[in-house]
Amino acid sequence: MTLNTPGISRPAGRPSDVIRVMITDDSAVVRGLITRWLGEEDGIEIIAKASDGIMAIKMAAEHQPDVVILDVEMPRLDGLAALPQILKAAPKAKVVMASTLTHRNADITLRALSNGAADYIPKPESSSLASAKDFQKDLIAKVRALGEAGRRIRPAMARPKAPPARVAPRIKKLAKGPRPIPKALFIGSSTGGPQALRDVITVIGPKIKIPVFITQHMPKAFTAVLAEHLTKNARKPVIEGRDGMPVKPDGIYVAPGDFHMTVRRNGSSIVIGLDQRPQENYCRPAVDPLFRSAAEVYGNAALGVVLTGMGHDGRDGAKDMVEAGAQIIAQDEASSVVWGMPGSIVQAGFAEQIKPINQIGSTIMNIVSGGNQK
């Protein structure tokens, strides 16, 4: 049954062209605003609304939504507890966790991502939601990206065997002679990134001997918690970068929310730089500033990796890295939650290797140990 909510226009396209959304939030104000925002968008239809996790499970089974917006904090059954039952009831649904910006909720949200949620969205307080244009814009973008991605082929990890890696055309390497073993690793990610980072860091963290720099699109409260979670996977400290912090040979650094992270030379050493210059690709932190600095400081001794994410952040910085002689690895489409960022790298011809997520960690270790140099 489709909800006939006043003020919502019904999309004119075929049912298969419409992204079907279920909203779960205990606040009637939030449900109403999200219903109005999404209902005004062509190709998006609100098919169900729930005020708690128990109701959400029942409605998910009945309506089989494409995208579920799931509040973290709710009465009777909260979002984290409801998540696995919603995914069981509607296995094709992409779940977006909606969370306020607190350390506790950031921790819960990252646990939800590990348990099958596709993405998250930081939610302003209810009192300021009506004027939260950034929240509205991000919500619509995520619903569209996840709804469209859900119609494509299921992830490679759901198949018996991962697809073979493809070799993409790329810009001709400008550096002459053999490429050196990488001296630093630079990773960019967005939608689906926390899970992908966990998979990669679990493989490389305990044994990699070069510094690793990570830019994941996340707000302030979340990046500190991401570093805490990745520390468990790496089995060594993963920390938020600080401006002027000396880079350790085997350090792993995460860009803090609301700051672009770069690297720069300081005499004979290399240090981390943080700044609040304008957003790039609607993001801060953004991947492009990190990759540009990688090209400038490390040249052909940098290794870049672009993981799942919306948009094309990282593409322009990857061009600088490739022109400096560096190698770029992109996550493949089948294992990406959204193939925006890595897809833009591949389509631009910057990806030297395209790998499913379950092969990226081992590919990195092969390269940094001296194999697969071109």
Tell me how far CA of residue 115 lies from CA of 82, 95, 108, 218, 353, in angstroms: 11, 11, 10, 19, 29
Q: How far, in whole angstroms, is CA 4 from its chain's centroid?
A: 34
Residue 17 CB partners (closer than 8 Å, separation 6+):
11, 43
Helices and strands (H and E) in the chain: how many: 11, 14
Structure tokens at 16: 């298969």
Per annotation, catalytic residue among 99, 190, 335, 336: 190
Strands 269-275 and 260-266, by their bridges, are: antiparallel
Between CA 249 and CA 346 the distance in angstroms is 30
> Annotated catalytic residue: which of 52, 313, 320, 332?
313
Catalytic member of 63, 217, 229, 312 = 217
Q: How far apart are CA 213 and CA 262, in angstroms?
A: 9
Q: Is 313 among the residues known to form the active site? A: yes
Which residue type occupies 143? V
**Beta carbons of 315 and 190 less than 8 angstroms apart:** no
Angstrom distance (rounded) from CA 304 to CA 188: 8
d(CA 200, CA 321): 21
Please report, as a single letter, which amino acid is at residue 57.
Answer: I
Determine the longest span between alpha carbons in the chain, in angstroms.
67
**DSSP characters over 130-178:** GG-HHHHHHHHHHHHHHHHHTTSPPPGGGSSSPPPPB----PPP-S-SP
State the distance between the two ends of the chain, measured CA to CA, in whole angstroms.
57
- Closest by Cα among 139, 155, 79 to 115: 79
Residues serving a catalytic function are 190, 217, 313
